[in-house]
Amino acid sequence: MNITPLSPHIGALVEGVELADLNDGEFDVLYRAYLDHKVLFFHNQSMTPEQHMSFAKRFGQLEPVHPFFPHLEEQEQVVVIETSPGSPPSKSYWHTDLTWQSIPCRCSILHAQLCPEAGGDTIWTSMEAVWLSLTPNEQNALRRLTATHALHAFEGSRYDSVTEDGQSRVAKISTQYPPVTHPLIVRHPETGNPTVYVNEQFTREVDGLSNEESEVLLNKLYQRARLPEFQIRFSWQPGAVAIWDNLSTQHFAVTDYGDKPRRLHRVTVRGEELKSY
């Protein structure tokens, strides 16, 4: 197995391994790299949906079926992220998966099935690096804060539809998932490292601040997360896989390919209750 770091803060390319056929020793090496580099990339991986799920289970318990994302009929925990002619992708936001849950997911594993000839990259950023870039005074001020996260960004998106009574289907589903509160600075349960835990898609406000103060603080952190030196960008090809740590990263899907066909399968692994740093 060859593991090549791709930047100082985030990302590594892993070669010489088949994810569908890892022995325990190989998985241990891979898992250590996952913690160290936060997102791992692989090329030319042949995995059936069943093998995808089986591999993901080595990281922990799988998330239940997503409340409104499309999924495979035979494997409901495999989300299908798909673009087709006449159905371009929705507006993209920097985000961390499922932070609108009281217990967010631990990691995500994305397997490319069909890709456009050009475009459709994904960018990840290290929120640990964002924390380290702050001054000690800034860090101290953030430690005591919490933020509210909510499932609200998909209303009116391609994942939404209008019910018989004229209401948004996503809005109706969202009532089953009330807003939740998470620490602004989270301690990673395995590395012990602090990470800034906000994202522009699901974080609504910093608790205890005025609307203006909250907006200013969040925008400052979002802009810091967009600094290129904290990021890694990956170009998808069929068979490519990305595995990332949802506690210490954000990601952004680049929607520059119009409605050209694109299809990826995602499986997510359940996390645990977040602890403040």
Query: So which residues are the catalytic ones?
Result: 95, 97, 251, 266
Q: Is 44 left (phi over 0), alpha (psi -120 to 50) or beta?
A: left
Helix or strand run (H / E) with residue 239? none
User: Which among 11, 170, 192, 159 is positioned nearest to 91, based on CA atoms?
Assistant: 159
Distance of CA 159 to the CA centre of its chain: 17
Please, are residues 257 and 120 in contact by the beta-carbon 8 Å criterion?
A: yes
Sign of CA dihedral 26, 32, 35, 39: negative
User: Which among 268, 273, 266 is positioned nearest to 59, based on CA atoms?
Assistant: 268
| Alpha-carbon span 112 to 44, nearest angstrom | 10
User: Which among 113, 72, 120, 115 is positioned nearest to 92, based on CA atoms?
Assistant: 120
| Alpha-carbon span 26 to 68, nearest angstrom | 35
